[in-house]
């Protein structure tokens, strides 16, 4: 293991009283209790999607188990969109258990922001552009997660090099950068652009604590940025995935999709159907999520499977080394 790095002070580390501005991104069917605990114990913030734990008693138990294993802060991603019929229960239980961080995505956070008033829970919202960022800021969001075009899963359309300073220029809220960040170089770049912390998603999949198959981990280690394809064929929303033989059939032209998608309303219903199937279907029936691997453009910088603690320590040490080497 790398030597323990000195801490770094940012708006995020101060807000959550942590030494390192690194958040393990909440990843559907990937992030579990062990990953959350390992990330929080290593000085970052571990997170998981609420929909990773079903039925509801498993969701509450996961929160309680995490609280037993770490005193560090952790977060839960809650999808605030019609396809998630459990969102109210997810919110209520998270607040009952005094979860430090709630992350909203794919919808309006209005309901959550109203419920958290008077609690210690902070709400950070996924945003992919300035308009959405302004809306959630006006609603009372405590922070933002700027999702750039290179992120794994449901990515934005704008490069983080443009998105971070654009949002920061207009909105004075703590901001987490998400998209293609896998090492100290990415952390340094994000903070230089104005971010206060970074998401690490794809990098955390290729770790010893990650519960995914070795095929998935090895696919990340051997993939390059050019192997990432953006498609809405998996779950109804455009997302980044590794081009593998298992993904190819989903990418193939489909006459039914082609015809039905000509109608905007029908296209939306197709997306909602796919989202509901992916999010709420039986895990054993989601062959696509067992064989289709979500990942971001940052795969090019991931060449080994390490522990989460090593990932965080190596990232921080590289960050401080790079600062010393920058041209003066």
pLDDT digits 0-9 by tens, 284-312 = 444 355 678 999 999 999 999 999 999 99
Say what the pLDDT of residue 285 is.
Answer: 40
Task: Let me know whether 36 and 185 are in one domain.
Answer: yes
Asked whether the predicted pLDDT for residue 2 surpasses 60, the reply is no
In a domain, 5, yes or no: no
Which tens digit of pLDDT belongs to each residue from 235-280? 777 889 999 887 887 777 554 555 555 556 655 555 555 554 444 4
Q: Average the pLDDT over each of 54-58, 122-126, 165-169, 277-281 and give the range with the smallest value.
A: 277-281
Judge whether 292 and 231 are in contact, CB under 8 Å.
no
Task: Let me know whether 74 and 140 are in one domain.
Answer: yes
Say what the pLDDT of residue 257 is.
Answer: 55
Task: Let me know whether 187 and 234 are in one domain.
Answer: no
Measured CA to CA, the distance from residue 280 to residue 90 in angstroms comes to: 14
Query: What is the count of structural domains for the chain?
Result: 2
Which tens digit of pLDDT belongs to each residue from 193-225? 999 999 999 999 999 999 999 999 999 999 999
Tokens 């990340």 sit on residue: 220
Say what the pLDDT of residue 155 is.
Answer: 86
Task: Let me know whether 51 and 115 are in one domain.
Answer: yes
Say what the pLDDT of residue 136 is.
Answer: 97
Task: Let me know whether 86 and 135 are in one domain.
Answer: yes
Average pLDDT, the chain: 89
In a domain, 3, yes or no: no
User: Who has greater pLDDT, 150 or 232?
Assistant: 150
**pLDDT interval class at 106 (50, 70, 90):** confident
Range of the domain at 82: 11-212+303-325
In a domain, 266, yes or no: yes
Task: Let me know whether 59 and 97 are in one domain.
Answer: yes
CATH number for the domain including 314? 3.20.20.70
Task: Let me know whether 274 and 130 are in one domain.
Answer: no
**Taking the model in full, what pTM does it have?**
0.89
Task: Let me know whether 197 and 239 are in one domain.
Answer: no
Say what the pLDDT of residue 279 is.
Answer: 46
Task: Let me know whether 40 and 153 are in one domain.
Answer: yes
Task: Let me know whether 117 and 229 are in one domain.
Answer: no
Long-range (24+ apart) CB contacts under 8 A made by 255-260 are: 257/233
Calculate the CA 136 to chain-centre distance: 18
With a CB cutoff of 8 Å and minimum separation 6, the contacts of 297 are 149, 150, 179, 180, 225, 228, 240
Which tens digit of pLDDT belongs to each residue from 38-61? 999 999 999 999 999 988 999 999
With a CB cutoff of 8 Å and minimum separation 6, the contacts of 276 are 83
**pLDDT interval class at 160 (50, 70, 90):** very high
In a domain, 314, yes or no: yes
With a CB cutoff of 8 Å and minimum separation 6, the contacts of 146 are 127, 128, 133, 156, 160, 163, 164, 167, 175, 176, 177, 178, 179, 195
């Amino acid at each position: 293991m790398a030597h323990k790095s000195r801490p770094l002070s940012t708006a995020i580390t101060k807000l959550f009283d942590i030494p390192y501005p690194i958040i393990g991104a909440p990843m559907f069917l990937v992030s579990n209790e062990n990953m959350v605990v390992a990330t929080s114990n290593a000085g970052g913030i571990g997170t998981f999607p609420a929909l990773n734990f079903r039925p509801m008693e498993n969701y509450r138990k996961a929160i309680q188990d995490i609280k037993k294993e770490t005193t560090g802060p952790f977060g839960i991603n809650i999808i605030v969109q019609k396809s998630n019929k459990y969102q109210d229960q997810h919110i209520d239980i998270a607040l009952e258990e005094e979860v430090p961080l709630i992350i909203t995505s794919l919808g309006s956070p209005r309901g959550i922001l109203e419920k958290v008033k008077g609690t210690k829970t902070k709400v950070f919202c996924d945003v992919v552009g300035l308009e959405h960022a302004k809306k959630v800021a006006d609603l009372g969001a405590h922070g933002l997660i700027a999702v750039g075009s290179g992120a794994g899963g449901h990515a934005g359309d704008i490069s983080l090099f443009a998105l971070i300073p654009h949002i920061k220029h207009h909105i004075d809220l703590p901001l987490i950068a998400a998209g293609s960040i896998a090492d100290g170089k990415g952390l340094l770049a994000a903070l230089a652009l104005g971010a206060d912390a970074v998401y690490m998603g794809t990098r955390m999949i290729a770790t010893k604590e990650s519960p995914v198959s070795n095929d998935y981990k090895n696919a990340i280690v051997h993939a390059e940025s050019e192997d990432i394809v953006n498609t809405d064929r998996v779950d109804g929303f455009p997302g980044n995935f590794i081009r593998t033989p298992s993904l190819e059939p989903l990418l193939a032209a489909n006459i039914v999709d082609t015809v039905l998608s000509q109608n905007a309303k029908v296209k939306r219903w197709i997306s909602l159907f796919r989202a509901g199937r992916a999010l709420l279907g039986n895990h054993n029936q989601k062959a696509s999520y067992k064989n289709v691997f979500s990942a971001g453009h940052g795969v090019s910088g991931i060449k080994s499977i390490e522990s989460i603690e090593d990932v965080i320590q190596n990232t921080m040490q590289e960050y401080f080394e790079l600062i010393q080497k920058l041209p003066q």
